[in-house]
Chains A and B, each alone.
Chain A
Amino acid sequence: MAETFAVDIEGVKKSFGGLRALDGVNLRVRPGEIYGLLGPNGAGKTTLIRSIVGLVAPDAGTVTVLGRRMPAVDVLRNIGYMTQQAALYPGLSVEENVEFFAAINGAEEGVDEVLKMVELDQRRKSVVATLSGGMRQRCSLACALVHKPKLLLLDEPTVGVDPQLRVQFWEDFRKMAAGGTTIVVSSHVMDEAERCQRLGLIQFGRLLAEGTPNEVRAQAGTNDLEEAFLRLAGDKVS
C-alpha cells in the first residue's frame, strides 16, 4: 500500500476559454510538509490551489485531498485557504471577521488563540478598513487558521508584507508543519523557496521540476535557486 498523501493531483488539465492554465499536472504533497509552488505570475499557481480546494473543476485528471476525491464539501472543514487578496469584510472588526470564519467552520473556541498568534489581539476591536496592508494580511491568515485545518493552502501569503513580518509568518508556518499541518504555499519570491521542504516549479501550467531545494539546484547544476529556476524554465521553453 502506497503512502497516503495529503494532496494527490493526477493529470489535471484546465483551460479557460483558449487559455491553458493547467496542462497535465501531477503533484503529491506528504502530510506535515511545507510544499512550495514556485512560478512567475500567470504560471497556473492560483488555478492549481483553487483546484485543490475544489473551486476549479478540472477538465481532465483527479484531485484527492486528505483521502477524498474533490470536490467534497466535508473535506473543506479540514482545509484553510488564504486567498491572494486579503479577503475580509472591511466593515467588520478584526475580531468579528475571525469570529465569522470560525463560526462557518464550527470552531468558535479558536478565536483568542489565533489572534494572539498573528499578534492582532491588541487590535481586535479595530475595523478592518482602518488597518494597514500587513495587518489585513495577518487578519486574513487568522481567518484561514482559526479552525486548525489539517491542510493549509496559502496563495502568495507574503505579498505586500514587510520583511520582519514575512520572517515571522514563515516561523509560524514551520511551527504548524511541525505540529502536523500540511502546508501548500505559492510564491514567486525565491528566498521563501529555501524555507520549503519540497518545491514544485510551475510554468505554462506544467510542473517543470520537483524536489527539495537542494535537489532542484542539483538538477539545474547551479548553487543559486533563482538561477536554477530560470535555467529549468529556459530548458523547457527552448
Chain B
Amino acid sequence: MSGHRVRAITRRLLQQFRRDRRTLALLFVAPIVILGLLGYLIRGSSSAPAVGVANEDQGPLGETFAAALERSSLISASAINASDGDARLKDGSLVAYIVFPADFSQRAQTGTIAPGVNLEGSQPSISATVFQALQQSITSVASAGPGPGFHFEPQVHYLYGGQGLDTLDYFGAAFIGLVVFFLVFVITIVSFLNERSQGTLERLMASPLRRGEIVLGYMIGFTVLALIQSAEVLAFSLAVLKVHNQGSVLLIFGIEALMALAAVNLGIFLSMFARSEFQAVQFIPLVVVPQVLLSGILFPVSTEPRPLQIASDVLPLTYAVNGLRDVMLKGADLTWPSLQLDAGVVAGFCVLLIVAGSATLRRRIA
C-alpha cells in the first residue's frame, strides 16, 4: 500500500471533476433543487381542497358545525345544496361535501354526531384531510358547547374507489405509467447517444437518409419495445398485484403507448445535450425527479402551492398520470372531457418532441 499512489488516484479524480462543470452542478445544485421543491410542496402555502357544506339540520348544531368548518384552514369550505354535491364532485370543483342531515341536532342530543361525508375518493391524502378538518371542528364545537361523551359516526360515501382500496390501488395507476416512461426514456437517450459517439450518426447524415426518417425509424423501433414492456407491466399489475381497475384495459394500454412515444422522443431530443452516457444519466435527477414530484403521483396537483400548480400544468407526466387514474379508479372512457384533454395533451407533447428532436438532429453531429 503506497500512500503516494493512493493520493495520485484521489487527485486525478478531483482534477477530472474540476473540468466537468455539469457533474459539479449536479452534485451541488440538484440536491438543493430537489429538497427545496419537496419542502415547498409540503410546507408551502398549499391550496386547501375545496369542500362543500350542506346544512339541512332543523336544529341549531348544523349551523355551528358548518361555521367551524368554514373557519378551518385545512379545507376551503363553502355552502352548497346537497342535491348539487355529486355533480360537483364529478366535475372536480369539489373534492368532498359534508351534509348535516335534518335530524343532526336531534341525534346529537342522544350523543351521536353523524354527518354525511361524501368523498370524491380518488386521492387518499385529500380524503384524510377532510376527516381531519371534520374532527377539528367537532373538537372546537365540543369544547365550547355540549361537552364530551358522544360518538362520531360519519355516514361515509365514496364517489370513486372506497375503503376497499389500499395504497397500491391508488398509486398503482400512476406507477404503471411512470415505470414505462422512465425506462423507455433512459434506454432511448443512451442508445441515441451511442449512435453519436460511435460515429455512425455522422455516417447516417452523409447518406440519403432524411432526418425525419431517422427519428421515425428510431421511434418505431423503441415504441415496439416499449409496447411489449407496457403490456408486461400492465398484465403483471392487474393479474399478479391485482391493482384495482375500473376502466378498459385497452384504454390504459393506449395511454401507456402515448407515454412511451413521448419518452422516446424526449430521449432523442435530450441526447443532443449530452456528450457521454454519464452525462445522459445526469438527466434523470434533472428531468425525471421534478416530474415525479410535480405530476400529482404523490401530492395531488390541486393542493400544491399556486406557483407549483402552474409548473405541474405544463408537465406531460401530470396529464398521463391523471388520465391513468381517471380510467383505473373512476372508470373513465373516451367520452369524458377530462380524459380527452389528458390524452390530447400527451399526444400534443409527442408531436412537439418529434419536431424538436428532428430539428436539433442536424446541429450537433460533430
Which residues 92-136 of A sit at the B interface, judged by CB distance below 8 A? 101, 104-106
Q: Per-residue 0/1 for B195-206: is the Cβ within 8 Å of any A Cβ (1 yes, 0 no)?
A: 000111011111
| Interfacial chain A residues near B208, Cβ < 8 Å | 73-74, 76-77, 104-106
A55 touches B210 (CB 8 A): no
In the assembly, what is the distance between CA of A83 and CA of B366, in Å?
12
A73 touches B203 (CB 8 A): no
Q: Per-residue 0/1 for A25-69: is the Cβ within 8 Å of any B Cβ (1 yes, 0 no)?
A: 000000000000000000000000000011100000000000000
In the assembly, what is the distance between CA of A104 and CA of B209, in Å?
7
Interface residues of A, dominant DSSP = loop
A83 touches B203 (CB 8 A): yes
In the assembly, what is the distance between CA of A55 and CA of B209, in Å?
13
A55 touches B205 (CB 8 A): yes
* CB-CB under 8 A for A104 and B206, given A87-B198, A90-B198: no
Partner of B203, one of A54, A90, A101, A106: A101
In the assembly, what is the distance between CA of A32 and CA of B53, in Å?
89
In the assembly, what is the distance between CA of A106 and CA of B209, in Å?
10
Partner of B207, one of A76, A85, A86, A88: A76
Which residues 192-246 of B sit at the A interface, judged by CB distance below 8 A? 198-200, 202-210
Assess whether B365 is interfacial by the CB under 8 Å rule.
yes
| Interfacial chain B residues near A83, Cβ < 8 Å | 199, 202-203
Which residue of chain B lies nearest to A89 when distances are taken between CB atoms in the complex? Answer: B200
In the assembly, what is the distance between CA of A17 and CA of B207, in Å?
27
B210 touches A87 (CB 8 A): no
Which residue of chain A lies nearest to B200 when distances are taken between CB atoms in the complex? Answer: A87
| Interfacial chain A residues near B204, Cβ < 8 Å | 104
| Interfacial chain B residues near A106, Cβ < 8 Å | 208
Assess whether A142 is interfacial by the CB under 8 Å rule.
no
| Interfacial chain B residues near A154, Cβ < 8 Å | none
Q: B5 to chain A: closest CB distance in Å?
A: 31
A87 touches B202 (CB 8 A): yes
Residue count of chain B within 8 Å CB distance of chain A: 14
| Interfacial chain A residues near B365, Cβ < 8 Å | 55
| Interfacial chain B residues near A204, Cβ < 8 Å | none
Most chain A CB inside 10 Å of its own CB: which residue of B205, B208, B210, B366: B208
A105 touches B207 (CB 8 A): yes
Which residue of chain B lies nearest to A100 when distances are taken between CB atoms in the complex? Answer: B200
| Interfacial chain B residues near A74, Cβ < 8 Å | 208
Assess whether A185 is interfacial by the CB under 8 Å rule.
no
Which residue of chain A lies nearest to B205 when distances are taken between CB atoms in the complex? Answer: A55
Interface residues of B, dominant DSSP = loop
Assess whether A143 is interfacial by the CB under 8 Å rule.
yes
B207 touches A54 (CB 8 A): no
| Interfacial chain B residues near A86, Cβ < 8 Å | 199
In the assembly, what is the distance between CA of A111 and CA of B207, in Å?
17
Assess whether A220 is interfacial by the CB under 8 Å rule.
no
A55 touches B206 (CB 8 A): yes
* CB-CB under 8 A for A55 and B200, given A74-B208, A77-B208, A105-B207: no
Which residues 50-74 of B sit at the A interface, judged by CB distance below 8 A? none
B202 touches A55 (CB 8 A): yes
Q: Per-residue 0/1 for B157-173: is the Cβ within 8 Å of any A Cβ (1 yes, 0 no)?
A: 00000000000000000
Q: A63 to chain B: closest CB distance in Å?
A: 13
Which residue of chain B lies nearest to A77 when distances are taken between CB atoms in the complex? Answer: B208
B199 touches A53 (CB 8 A): no
Q: A175 to chain B: closest CB distance in Å?
A: 23
Assess whether A81 is interfacial by the CB under 8 Å rule.
yes
Partner of A87, one of B199, B209, B366: B199
Which residue of chain A lies nearest to B365 when distances are taken between CB atoms in the complex? Answer: A55
In the assembly, what is the distance between CA of A55 and CA of B206, in Å?
7
| Interfacial chain B residues near A89, Cβ < 8 Å | 198, 200
Assess whether A207 is interfacial by the CB under 8 Å rule.
no
In the assembly, what is the distance between CA of A54 and CA of B209, in Å?
13
A88 touches B198 (CB 8 A): yes
Assess whether A184 is interfacial by the CB under 8 Å rule.
no
Assess whether A216 is interfacial by the CB under 8 Å rule.
no
A87 touches B207 (CB 8 A): no
In the assembly, what is the distance between CA of A15 and CA of B365, in Å?
16
| Interfacial chain B residues near A55, Cβ < 8 Å | 202, 205-206, 365-366
Assess whether A79 is interfacial by the CB under 8 Å rule.
yes
In the assembly, what is the distance between CA of A79 and CA of B210, in Å?
15
Q: A57 to chain B: closest CB distance in Å?
A: 9
Which residue of chain B lies nearest to A46 when distances are taken between CB atoms in the complex? Answer: B366
Pairs of residues from A and B, 3 with the lowest C-beta to C-beta distance, nearest first: A87-B199, A81-B206, A53-B206
Please give 13 more A-B residue pairs, beta carbons under 8 A apart, in addition to A81-B206, A105-B207.
A55-B202, A73-B208, A73-B210, A74-B208, A81-B203, A83-B199, A87-B203, A88-B198, A88-B200, A89-B200, A104-B209, A105-B208, A143-B203
Q: List 21 A-B contacts (CB under 8 A).
A: A54-B206, A55-B205, A55-B206, A55-B365, A73-B208, A77-B208, A81-B203, A83-B202, A85-B199, A86-B199, A87-B198, A87-B199, A87-B200, A87-B202, A87-B203, A88-B200, A89-B198, A104-B207, A104-B208, A105-B207, A143-B203
